[in-house]
Amino acid sequence: MAKGYWITCYRSAIDEVTLTKYAKIAGPAIEAHGGHFLARGTPVKVYEVGLNQRLVIIEFESVKKAIEAYKSPEYQTALAILKDSAARDVRIISSCEA
């Protein structure tokens, strides 16, 4: 079965206080649904039309698990903290199968 990857690209800066409040709930909610954080932070280097904003990559055992985590009540509680304070691009993709 192909793994699922949840990729979040922040389109605008977010204040650290709001991000910290969100992360305190979001991280445990994602991990409770099998998510493993692979990378998070600002890019070391950007190319083409890449934005120099926060990026998060989370691995799940499947796309289904990633979608379930996003839709979970626990994560939706965390998401409510962000409200309109962050413009983000959230994508869930599957791994390449050999």
Residue 71's pLDDT is 98
pLDDT tens digits, 16-26:
899 899 999 99
pTM for the full model? 0.90
Alpha-carbon span 59 to 72, nearest angstrom: 16
| Rounded distance between C-alpha atoms, residue 47 and residue 75, angstroms | 31
pLDDT at position 12 is: 84
- The pLDDT tens digits for 27-46 are 999 999 999 999 999 999 99
What single-letter amino acid sits at 5?
Y
Pairwise pLDDT comparison (84 vs 29), residue with the higher score: 29
CA 44 – CA 59 distance, rounded (Å): 21
Place of tokens 């796309």: 63
Helix and strand numbers (H, E) in the chain are 3, 4
Percent of the chain's residues with pLDDT above 70: 98
Six-digit token string for 1: 């079965």
- What is residue 27's predicted lDDT score, i.e. its pLDDT? 96
Top CATH class, 4-94: alpha beta
